[in-house]
Structure 1
Amino acid sequence: MNQVQQKVSCAFETEVISGESSLKRPHQSFKVIASTRLKASAVESDIENGACSEKIDGTCTFVALHNDRPWLWARLDRKPTKSIEKKFKKYQQQLRNWEQNPKGKERPPDFHWDAVKDFKEAPDDWIPAHRVPIVEGIPQPDRYGHMPGWLPLAATARQYCWHLDTVQLDAGLCLLLEQKEDQLLEVRVERLDSLKDCTLELIGTNVNGNPYLIGSKAAPLHILVQHGSIAVSRAPSPEYDALVKWFNEDSDSAVEGLVWRCANGMLYKVHRHHLQLPWPLEQKPRLCRSAVTINVDLSLFTDVDFEEKPLFTKLGRLHGKTYDSLCDIQL
């Protein structure tokens, strides 16, 4: 089962460099980079033999039951209140200063979260992500104040309109991008019940600045990609020097990052920013370098109303067509 319920850990021990803007978050006055040392847990998980896939740059979703029906859920992490967030950022800066200049036996600064008082209220339908600790019925944040969770899509939720583009919830259907055995891609209609308990990435025109150059402002295109489904068959060994060389020289390396799924269920990643490399790229990303077939035959769903689902109907008109790239699909 492919799930990304929590933030995926970097495969390497990381280092914080203060005073330098993050490549990923330019407003952030420090950056987190990978050291050359693999994490002990990654070695123990036998990352070397883990299944390697492309890290997809989108927004995370989850398929699970809602009112006894298979449903698409949007990622919604509970956030600290503004006052507590301000205190936590101050603590983080104090901790970085202490780590760079520890003062003898002086104890490092400390911070404790109060899961009841420090966080904004969640919507009634919100559920915590798997493995979020629950104490006396109350979800608990990690030490960084992360409390990931999920919210079922509502048909009228304007903030999730791009999610809703990709699903016909009444019929339990979604638009899925999948990699076939020959490395070619396929856009098809999939039943949500076949994806139950899986997490997927929503990508497209209006998601994360559209690094895959999909669709257009006039004719936006959004689609779901199951986590772990875009394999990288010629991936390098998870060693620092090998990865730096691969990201700089290999034709397959035009990706946001790599994710390893280990036999024990652990996940590890390396983002280009961990190696101080840019993303998005000026050249066409790897996901847009394969031919893609449209397999959206709406005649198979005679009892389904697609009238209010224009993306389904537009792709349905392209059924059977093959394009050189996702970028070439014109709706």
Structure 2
Amino acid sequence: MRRLGSVQQKIPCVFLTEVREEPSRKRDCQHFQIVATENVNPLALESNIDCALATEKLDGTCCYVTTYNGFTWNVEDDFKSVPDSWISAHRVQHENGHPVPDEHGHIPGWVPVENTNKQYCWHASVVNYEEGLALVLRPHPEDEDLLEIVSVPLSELMEQTLELIGTNVNGNPYGLGSKKHPVHVLAPHGILRVRNAPPVEYQQLYSWFQESHEGRVEGIVWHCNDGTLIKVHRHHLGLKWPTADTFLNSRPIVVHVDGARYNSEALTDPPKNLFSILSSLNGQHFNSIQGIQFEH
């Protein structure tokens, strides 16, 4: 069975960083912050970042689609306990059958998203396991400037990682939905290309985030040809996030969620799930994802 899993993914910063003992610009309860120096991370240079694909970093939570087979793992006593269904993320090294922590002491991994677990209810809202579908945000295949929300077979997302964004994720910096009508979608990593990306140089990146229309994003993730991912956050450069008007919300969007599968639910008042609600908007265009309006 194809399942959706959730985890926090660790990606190195494009610049070498240092810790400062002052309140974080990203987390209210964190009394220190990680800031970038002007020195490019050697890992980025080794991975030839100048030839990498620059993409928008979305502010959400990382997910992974794979076949769920009930894999069981026993972590050593000196690490945080994990659910029996936990599986390690790709690139985690193993020794003698046990996962090895990275240089920061982390062992990233995935846990399956279950419909019955309230902790993952918003993850579950974007997946219809009976139909094998997921709600995905991506550029329209015929117009890169136009976004679309579309129902995609989970089989097409196998072994991919995606970002869950929406009403109840990370303070909803994109203003999606409302308390009455929460909206969540999955965006495949690397799908939102940064056109005319700035060179990997501190001052030029700082100016791009400050002055460019396309720079009103949480950050950039570079996808290097050797498979390495490198990132930079606005807050690494001492800049505020979220911005008043994010770049994501400047892009028009169309809904392509076929209502045929959900007619029985679409007739209820209110509809039972997000698939049913969006199917009632099938084919409609909006000025932005924030501007999607529901009749119910």
Counterpart contact for 1:133–1:139, Cα < 8 Å: yes
Aligned position for 1:58: 60
Q: 2:97 aligns with which of 116, 132, 137?
A: 137
Counterpart contact for 1:198–1:226, Cα < 8 Å: yes
- Distance change (3 Å), C-alpha of 1:31 and 1:302: closer
Q: 1:146 aligns with which of 101, 106, 124?
A: 106
Match of 2:215, SS state, is coil
- Report the Cα distance in structure 1 between the residues aligned to 2:19 and 2:132, rounded to whole angstroms: 44
1:293 and 2:254 are equivalent in the alignment: yes
- Report the Cα distance in structure 1 between the residues aligned to 2:78 and 2:10, rounded to whole angstroms: 21
Aligned position for 2:232: 270
Matched to 1:297, the amino acid is D
Aligned position for 2:13: 10
C-alpha displacement of 1:304:
10
Aligned position for 1:257: 219
Counterpart contact for 2:66–2:159, Cα < 8 Å: yes
Out of 120-129 and 238-247, give the one that drifted further.
120-129
- Distance change (3 Å), C-alpha of 1:189 and 1:311: same
- Report the Cα distance in structure 1 between the residues aligned to 2:129 and 2:272, rounded to whole angstroms: 10
Aligned position for 1:119: 79
Q: Identity over the aligned pairs, expressed in percent?
A: 45
Counterpart contact for 2:262–2:275, Cα < 8 Å: no
Q: What runs of 5+ residues in structure 2 fail to find an aligned partner?
A: 1-6
C-alpha displacement of 1:5:
8.2
Match of 1:245, SS state, is helix
Across the two proteins, how many residue pairs are aligned to each other? 280
Out of 172-181 and 183-192, give the one that drifted further.
172-181
Aligned position for 2:3: none
- Distance change (3 Å), C-alpha of 1:260 and 1:304: farther
Q: 1:284 aligns with which of 234, 245, 255?
A: 245
Match of 2:177, SS state, is coil
TM-score (norm 1): 0.80
C-alpha displacement of 1:179:
1.1
Residue deviations 1:125-179, cap 9 Å, x none?
A: 1101111222222222224332211111222111111011101012210000011
- Distance change (3 Å), C-alpha of 1:158 and 1:26: closer
Stretches of 4+ aligned residues off by more than 3 angstroms: 301-309
- Report the Cα distance in structure 2 between the residues aligned to 1:126 and 1:23, rounded to whole angstroms: 31
Aligned position for 2:122: 162
Q: 1:322 aligns with which of 273, 278, 285?
A: 285
Matched to 2:10, the amino acid is K
Residue deviations 1:277-301, cap 9 Å, x none?
A: 01112x22111111000011132x4
Q: Aligned-residue CA RMSD in angstroms?
A: 2.2
- Report the Cα distance in structure 2 between the residues aligned to 1:198 and 1:134, rounded to whole angstroms: 22
Aligned position for 2:161: 199
Matched to 1:40, the amino acid is P
- Distance change (3 Å), C-alpha of 1:304 and 1:176: farther
